Structure 1
Amino acid sequence: MSVIYLLISISIVVAIFFFVAFVRAVKTGQYDDDYTPSVRMLFDDELVKKASDEPIQMSEKQP
C-alpha cells in the first residue's frame, strides 16, 4: 500500500513540473506565431481583389 502512495506523490510532482514548464513557456512567448503575419501580407491582395470584384458583379446583374 505504501508503494501506491509513493507513486501517486511522484506523479503529482511530475504533473506540477510539467504545468510549471508549460506556464513558463507561454509567458516567455514560446507559442507566439511569428510566421503567419509575414505570410498573410502576401495574400492580402487576393482578399482585397475578391472583395472589390463582388460588388461590381452584383451591380452588373441588376440593370
Structure 2
Amino acid sequence: MSGLLFLIPVALFMGALGLAAFLWSLKNGQYEDLDGAASRILLDDDTIPSQESRANR
C-alpha cells in the first residue's frame, strides 16, 4: 500500500508533464504542416549535369 502512495503522484506528475509538452508543441505550431515534410523529401532540386558539360571538364 505504501508503494501506491508513491506511484500514484509520480504517475500523475508524468501525465501532467506529457500534457504540458503536448500543449507546448501545439502552441509552437509543430502540427501545422504534417504533409509538407513528407512531400519535401521527394522534391529533388539537384539537376543532373548533361553529357556535354561532363565532356567539357
Point out the structure with max Rg over C-alpha.
1
Matched residue, 1:24: 24
Structure 2: how far apart are the matches of 1:5 and 1:15? 16
What amino acid is aligned across from residue 29 of structure 1 in structure 2? G
TM-score normalised by structure 1 residue count = 0.52
Size of the alignment, in residue pairs?
37
CA RMSD in angstroms comes to 2.0
Q: C-alpha deviations, 1:21-53, integer Å up to 9, x for none?
A: 0000000000111628x8xxxxxxxxxxxxxxx
Structure 2: how far apart are the matches of 1:29 and 1:5? 37
Moved over 6 A (4+): none
User: How far off is 1:5 after superposition?
Assistant: 1.3
Matched residue, 1:11: 11
Return 5+ residue gaps in structure 2 as ranges: 40-57
Return 5+ residue gaps in structure 1 as ranges: 39-63
TM-score normalised by structure 2 residue count = 0.57
Structure 2: how far apart are the matches of 1:27 and 1:13? 21
The answer to which structure has the higher helix fraction is 1
